[in-house]
Amino acid sequence: MRSAERTPVLITGGAGFIGANLASRLLSQGEEVLILDNLSRPGVEENLAWLQRQNPDALDFIEGDVRDFDETRRAVSRACFVFHLAAQVAVTSSVDEPRHDFSVNAVGTLNVLEAVRMRAQPPPVIYTSTNKVYGDLGRLDLCVNGSRYEPADSVVREFGIGESQPLSFHSPYGCSKGTADQYVLDYTRTYGISGIVFRMSCIYGPRQFGNEDQGWLAHFLIRALANEPVILYGDGMQVRDVLYIDDLIDALLLARQNVASLSGEVFNIGGGPGCVTSLREVLALISEMQGREVEIRWDEWRIGDQRYFVSDTSRFRQLTDWSPKVSLEEGVARLYAWLSDRRREIHSSPAIPGEP
């Protein structure tokens, strides 16, 4: 039975990729978890069922939406801490439906913050933002090194992009996430709530059902396993720092542990200079893993696409002693194994009556 004396950790978007992994870690540590999720993304019902099998007595679920203030307020009223992960996550979707994007990311975040502010003892909030708040970094001088771009500036090349990089919201997604990002920081100043912002790079790992618009590394693996082509937009030499999900969860929990001293801070969180790859290089790694070439098809550059982004994670590392532990090769191998196992389970499952 759930203890009446203990208050749960609230995770908005808790059935998603990051939320489910975070919830699983918290449950394994004996904590109680409350998830608020509208189950709108493919695969999240599977993640929720996975969590419910782990510890049903310590997990509570509300099928709801952060755009509904009353529902959000009821969830926040029960929480001792809030991880606000619920979001519209795709640049392309934001271009197609900017009003929807803004209502989820900006209005939804404001609802969470207002619900927190209205508490007599407001619970702290950690918000997961994005490196897209820095725009396309079009003024960053780049050169080509083999199959990747790299900065001409040796300091940026060594350390990556820091939090002092000027904000430059490109695409409706960048605008909505940037708006939410700034609201969290301002609520710590104006209302004195405890809040931390993570501006995240490419996170990947098990329980990620990636598609072309979001979760690109998982998407590449899913296409490769199905022996289907991968579309690269631009020239494929775009560079990203990738971070395995377990390392992100470590960072989130360290931020929670140190929330009193870190409140009001923003951190760039990714694999950093030690986990850097280009899109072409990832596909070469997957091809080697599979023993056959992944077919590549090409298309035009997309709005707001960054040719280079590597997070300078040194501030967070200095303040918490955090650093990524899982290498690119190990992380991709883990995700490949998980997706392969899941694919086998799906194909070996008996057909549902009435379905082809």
What is the per-residue pLDDT across 195-213, written as a single tens digit (0 to 9) for each? 999 999 999 999 999 888 8
Could you tell me the end-to-end alpha-carbon distance of the chain, in angstroms, rounded to an integer? 42
Q: Which amino acid is at 94?
A: S
Q: Which residues are catalytic?
A: 173
Q: Which amino acid is at 134?
A: Y
Class of domain 87-344: alpha beta
- pLDDT tens across 136-183, in order? 999 999 999 999 999 999 999 999 999 999 999 989 999 999 999 999
- What is the chain's Cα-based Rg? 20
**Cβ density class 306-333: b for 16+ within 10 Å, e for less:** bbbbbbbbbbbeeebebebebebeebbe
Tokens standing for residue 86: 């619920």
What are the backbone dihedrals phi and psi of residue 83, each rounded to the nearest 5 degrees, phi first? -100, 110
pLDDT of residue 349: 62
CB 86 within 8 A of CB 104: yes
Tokens standing for residue 353: 């009556």
CB 300 within 8 A of CB 233: yes
* Residue that has been written with the tokens 């899109």 in this structure: 279
Tokens standing for residue 17: 């990729």
- pLDDT tens across 271-327, in order? 999 999 999 999 999 999 999 999 999 999 988 789 999 999 999 999 999 999 999
Domain coordinates in residue numbering, the chain: 87-344
CB 15 within 8 A of CB 37: yes
pLDDT of residue 355: 37
pLDDT of residue 6: 76
For 7, other C-beta atoms within 10 Å of its C-beta total: 15
pLDDT of residue 356: 33
Question: Cα separation of 45 and 63, whole Å?
Answer: 11
pLDDT of residue 307: 97
Does residue 339 sit in helix, strand or coil?
helix
Question: DSSP for 102-166?
Answer: HIIIIIHHHHHHHHHHTSSSPPPEEEEEEGGGGTT-TTS-EEEETTEEEESSHHHHHH-B-TTSP
pTM for the whole structure: 0.95
CB 43 within 8 A of CB 67: no
* Residue that has been written with the tokens 């771009």 in this structure: 149
